A and B are shown apart, each in its own frame.
Chain A
Amino acid sequence: MRKLVILSLLLVLGYFLLNTFAGAEFGKDRKVLANYYLEKSPSELQVANTVTAIVVNFRGFDTLGEVTVLFLAATGMGTILLRRRSKHTGLNPMRTSPEASKIVQAAGKLLFPAIMILGAYVFIHGHLTPGGGFQGGAIIATGFLLLLISYRQFKVEHKYVTWIESLAGLTFVSIGLLGIVLGPHNSFLENFLNVGTLNELTSGGVIALVYIAVGFKVAAELTGILDTLVNIRETGDID
């Protein structure tokens, strides 16, 4: 009965949503802001990937917010899960699955450096090709996930994670603040470096630098979150 009520409510909600969105035709050109971005991104910023220009420059403030959300998620998980004065037993007793086979372990070790390089490539070339800091960071985190899955003993040192995430975050905000001092319009996150020429690795000015910082931050943050979920440092009940 309850399910029927919910279903009918969802039907009504879905109908109204569909009707509203259908009014805005699929595939229609509705670019008001977008045309400006598509024009300025290759000309003024010399960034080939317009999405990156938007994410890091035009709407860079959102990205700072996103990075903060990830930071908050990691901090929040620490608050929610870590137990005070916990004895670090090393192994999580809840991980009862048997050790991964030799093949998986060897393959994991073999793949790990390749994944790191791919991730770094993706975030370094964020302004030229599809991808960027978030995507690259996520790729790097999957490398650590692979190790966490194949080796039960594997632990990420939270000390290093903290350092990397803090330094990367500080770099991001500092570049932003430098924009106030050095940028032509004295505004936050503004580009103050030479933008170079389109489609070269050194193009884009601070955009490339910010995306690298984001890449490091996301990688550290996601790895930390994965490790927190896999190796919760407590046993038995909370309190």
Chain B
Amino acid sequence: MNQLLTYSVYGTAILVMMIGIYAMLTKKNLIKIVIGMSILDSGFNLLLIALGYIKGGTAPIFSPAVEGKDVIMVDPIPQALVLTAIVIGFGVTAVALSLVIRLYRKHNTIKIDEIKTLRW
């Protein structure tokens, strides 16, 4: 049972990541590529949060509700890391979108194959 849970939870997160990479590699529309990037980020965040889960764990907050009780708390470190990863992902997405705006202004298109200088 636990094996099934392990595969399904991590598998879902990795599937989301793969969808993101697929979009980044195959889409022709710059905005869609940026969306792919975002999906990739989200997939990773899902994975990291799942890593921090501990069976039967509650939120790692010592509120009056848990005072004096013997509770298991989930691993707080991945949550802190995800916060960092989200913010950094946001920053990169914002810069990417502003680059797309500039490319659109210059070439009047957001199709990647109509912008010659973007080819490798």
Known: A30-B75, A66-B88. A59 touches B80 (CB 8 A): yes
Interface residues on A, range: 35 or more
Interface residue? B2 (CB, 8 A):
yes
The answer to whether B75 touches A51, judged by C-beta atoms less than 8 angstroms apart, is no
The answer to whether A66 touches B7, judged by C-beta atoms less than 8 angstroms apart, is no
The answer to whether B87 touches A134, judged by C-beta atoms less than 8 angstroms apart, is yes
| Contact stretch, chosen from A75-83, A102-110, A148-156, A179-187 | A75-83
Report chain B residues within 8 Å CB of A42: 62
Report chain B residues within 8 Å CB of A228: 98
Kindly identify which residue among A22, A30, A49 contacts B6, using a CB–CB cutoff of 8 Å: A22
The answer to whether B15 touches A50, judged by C-beta atoms less than 8 angstroms apart, is no
The answer to whether A62 touches B94, judged by C-beta atoms less than 8 angstroms apart, is no
The answer to whether B77 touches A24, judged by C-beta atoms less than 8 angstroms apart, is no
Kindly identify which residue among A3, A37, A50, A129 contacts B26, using a CB–CB cutoff of 8 Å: A3
The answer to whether B77 touches A33, judged by C-beta atoms less than 8 angstroms apart, is yes
The answer to whether A51 touches B80, judged by C-beta atoms less than 8 angstroms apart, is yes
The interface bits of chain A over 10-29 (1 if a CB of B lies within 8 angstroms of the residue's CB, else 0) are 11011001100110111111
Report chain B residues within 8 Å CB of A234: 105
Interface residue? A157 (CB, 8 A):
no
The answer to whether A14 touches B15, judged by C-beta atoms less than 8 angstroms apart, is yes
The answer to whether B5 touches A27, judged by C-beta atoms less than 8 angstroms apart, is yes
Q: Measured between C-beta atoms, what is the minimum distance from B85 to chain A in Å?
A: 9
Interface residue? A91 (CB, 8 A):
no
In the complex, chain B residues 26-60 whose Cβ is within 8 Å of any chain A Cβ: 26, 47, 50-51, 53-55, 59-60
In the complex, chain B residues 70-105 whose Cβ is within 8 Å of any chain A Cβ: 72-73, 75-77, 79-80, 83-84, 86-88, 90-92, 94-95, 97-99, 101-102, 105
> 10 A-B Cβ contacts within 8 A?
A6-B26, A27-B54, A29-B55, A48-B61, A51-B60, A54-B80, A80-B95, A80-B98, A128-B63, A229-B94
Listed from nearest, the 5 A-B pairs whose CB atoms lie closest are A73-B91, A26-B6, A27-B55, A50-B60, A54-B80
Point out residues on B near A: beta carbons under 8 Å: 2-3, 5-7, 9-11, 14-15, 17-18, 21-22, 25-26, 47, 50-51, 53-55, 59-64, 72-73, 75-77, 79-80, 83-84, 86-88, 90-92, 94-95, 97-99, 101-102, 105-106
